[in-house]
Amino acid sequence: MLASYRKSLRTPIAIVLYFVLGLGAHAQSGSSTSVSGTILDPSGAVVPNATVEILNPVSAFDRTTLTDSSGKFTIPNVPFNPYHLTVMAQGFTDYSQDIGVRSAVPVSLKISLTVGASNEVVKVEAAGEDLLENTSSFHTDVDRGLFDKIPIESQSSSVSRFPSIQSSRWRSSPAPHLPNLATRLAW
């Protein structure tokens, strides 16, 4: 009877152990991982003390770290989500990249920064009058002598004596935009 009692207990104990060990293994896999990497300059040398930020604006997850003397960084316990990674270092342009954390496999990055431009600002100030007039209307000054040089057509003017081509039905046409093709030379 003791043997059958032991056999009947083995099955439930085995089932309980299976679930306990299975849940423990699942809890160890978790729903987060780490993001790590190395920051390099264009020549391949490491960049120490660079600021590395990872941000998810939807979940408001935001972590910031600095690279060590060997240019490496690690951000642990990063939940599965898409993130925006930004790297900032003095003398270099800011670097941005979107990354996706989708599994428990750690994300490893190798980032190369580009040399930034000088941030020198030159400020020039001058106290002088405006070069443009401060009126709201436009005008043009015309010399009276210009009007004296313009030919005016009149009976005595020689301008009206030049020959011209006129349409015989231009003014009397019911469709003035379609003149008669028959034209005559008027003197």
Dist CA 83 CA 59 (whole Å): 10
Within a domain: 140: no
The CA distance from 87 to 35, in Å, is 13
Q: Tens of pLDDT along 67-122?
A: 999 999 999 999 999 999 999 999 899 999 999 999 999 999 999 999 987 666 77
Those residues of the chain that have pLDDT short of 50 are 24-27, 167-173, 178-187
Within a domain: 81 = yes
Half-sphere exposure of 64 (CA within 13 A, CB side): 7
Q: Is residue 168 part of a domain?
A: no
47 within some domain: yes
Give me the pLDDT at residue 182, please.
Answer: 47
pLDDT given at position 184: 45
Residue 87 belongs to what domain range? 31-112
In a domain, 89, yes or no: yes
> Residue 60 maps to which CATH number?
2.60.40.10
**Count of domains in the chain?**
1
Task: In whole angstroms, give the CA distance from residue 61 to residue 67.
Answer: 20
CA distance 32 to 29: 8
